[in-house]
Chain A
Amino acid sequence: MEQYKFKSKKLPYLLSIPQFIIVTIFILYPTYKSLELSLFTTSIFGGNKVFVGLQNFNDLFSSPDYLKTVVVSLIFAGGVTIIGLALSLLISVLINNALKGLTIYRTAFIWPYALSPAVAGAIWMFIMHPSYGILTSILPFELNWILNGNHALILIISAATWRMLGYNIAFYLAGLQSVPVSLREAAALDGASGFQKFFRITFPLLTPTTFFLLTMNLVYSFFRTFGLIHTVTKGGPSGMTEIMVYKTYKDGFINLVPGLSAAQSVILLAIVIGIISFQFKYLERKVHYA
């Protein structure tokens, strides 16, 4: 139904102009500038910009270092998303089956979402410390994230996944609550086992929630975990935890190659456009509740 419309010529403009100004100056214009900057290079001596076309992109895609950050980002994002969704779905189903205590369990699981990736990282780097970490001491295998790149990746995936569990569980629980009990009961009468009920009825009905959380977890692991990397590993050892956002920052503000950094920003822009278009295509109504 159409909402009521007030009659005023000026008021709607006055109302929407503040956000419009902020968006234009601090978001749209800088995004346009980064597209532009990605086509230039700054000479080390003069500091003046030279137009180089797609040279920066060419350099990136022929650099093994850059390709490594792409692979690392994919492993990291894939790990956080797949492990995170599987674990939170399992926990949500258990809570939903418990019949009693839903709100208590929800509270008990939701809160790590309030912690920052940096906080999560600081705690996990300690409990997984190779020589005195409490988790390392009970693990049946060796875990040394200071020296071993794969182990460092395990550390940051664990911390990032743990931090996102509560968010995922909150959305999965809401999704499970809307699965009609009568459907499951009918299936049970037809002799369906617990597993059959889950995979034939519950899981398909949760598809919209799963898609939504999939995009949210991808955006989170690609774009919002910078603090975790900066606090814990600084991309090391030997670049094994250097995700794309971290390298973009490093090239821009430490190695001082703005053109190369801007080109990486443009690649990140393509990634986020991909993820969010996917979300809009499959879930028209939802945006980014993070």
Chain B
Amino acid sequence: MAQSNTSQQMTDDRKLILIVEDEFVSREILKMTIEQNYDVLLAENGSQALKHIEESGDRLSLILLDLNLPDMHGVDILNMINEKEEVHRIPVIVLTADKEAEVECLDIGAADFIPKPYPDIKIIQARIRHTIELFEKRVIIGQTEFDELTGLYNKEFFYLYAERSDAHNSESLMDAIVIDINHFRMINERYGKDYSNEVLRRIGNRLGALTAEAGGLACRRDADHFMVYCPHLDDYEKVFGTLSEGISGEGNAESIVRLRMGVYPEADKSIEIERRFDRAKLAADSVKSNYATPIGTYDSELNEKNMYSEQLIVAFPEAIEKQQFQVYFQPKFDIRGDKPVLCSAEALVRWIHPEYGFISPGAFISTFETNGLINRLDNYVWRAAARQIREWSDRLGAEVPVGVSVNVSRVDLFDPDICETLLGIVEECGISQDKLLLEITESAYSEDSKHIIDTVHRLRSAGFRIEMDDFGTGYSSLNMLTSLPIDALKLDMQFVRTAFREGGDTGMIAIIIEIADLLGVPVIAEGVETEEQMIALKEMGCDIAQGYYFSKPVPAEEFERFLADR
């Protein structure tokens, strides 16, 4: 009486449903009900069902399962489906004549149930259609809608849902928020990926709970960048406190993980959703490493600054072409002897724009670092400095006795051709590598240490000398320092300034000088403004000094005076 076969020729685009039912009448009615829209496999007992699942599991869109089978209980089949990796995506609708069994079925993992006697055909068809759609969506969604690590939305779906939310609530005031971790790469490197992931998950959980309570959406954009779109709040101190508290993990120092938050309040809905979060990101970056004020707000001031940055970016190509960038030189003096002796210079870029006038490097360097233009600008400065060295040699009739240091941005170090480029420049200008000193900021080393250290090693092997700039502001451990390829430590200007301010403490400088001794490299102090400072630094064991006490950065022609004096 019973049979097990495919109901008709299976076609590729039709979905396949397995009916597991030992009662002929119930099986036939069900088959008749669905075979117009689906391909059907039939099983009259548990073992036939398992065989079909084994053979056609990858094609099955649904299983309709009677619980009372002659050879096994349907619950066992349900459990097997739930436990087996390859088939647990297949939804199961339980067929049951017991009212009490309905809830139980759902508890043990059935997607739905169809009672017996069967309800209206339309109800059966709707339940089948709905279940298949739901599970298909869940499979697709599971792979693409959520960030795997944190369970928050991913960027694409976040933007999509934020836009939908706007469409439904056009009047409501919403805030765009970006949350980042300060020095995340360094944390990653120092404490390991597991720890970093744990922190990211913790942030994800807290943001999830926060948006569940206050409304809104949260997502992990990438790495350590989170975004939240939520109803407007006047004050984010409390939210930030909740997010940050104990974020480093139990038993860890609070200071390991520090967050920063950027808020674009009452975001303008007439601009693209992505741009709204760009603004929040800008606000977050405006408080980067500013531990006292970890929340930045996008306001008119920041907006103006942003507009200004954009203007500078637009003006950049012409500035290069028309040589609006000029290279100035600030002398460095060896202060170890009785009298300071010129030993090198630092090349510093100045931008004199025909319309905007003198543009401070502070205004454009960080902007160009963000969008990669710094690479072109640095190349320009390197070449200009090298040409200048050549020119001085030619005009002064002898090889210039001092070297000129140029800044090498973190961004430059990711350029795989950097070594060849620099070698090309010195060759083109006919100077030796030791005349072009390279200043690399300490914080660059903490970004992607291995890669950067490898690059610096290559530069050093090629004959260049490396000065570690802004030393004391980064996070280099002593252990890491000893493995770094460096030829000099450059004390951050800020250290010198604060140390000699009223009530200042020179202890930090003393420590850095000790470190330099340990590494066997000279210490260069920047920002030296008075004779007292110079003498104090000299007494502490500082080797080289640079600053307004000696000279401000000057054009090449003026610098020749120092060369002549020497």
Co-assembled chains A and B: no
B binding-site residues for A, Cβ under 8 Å: none
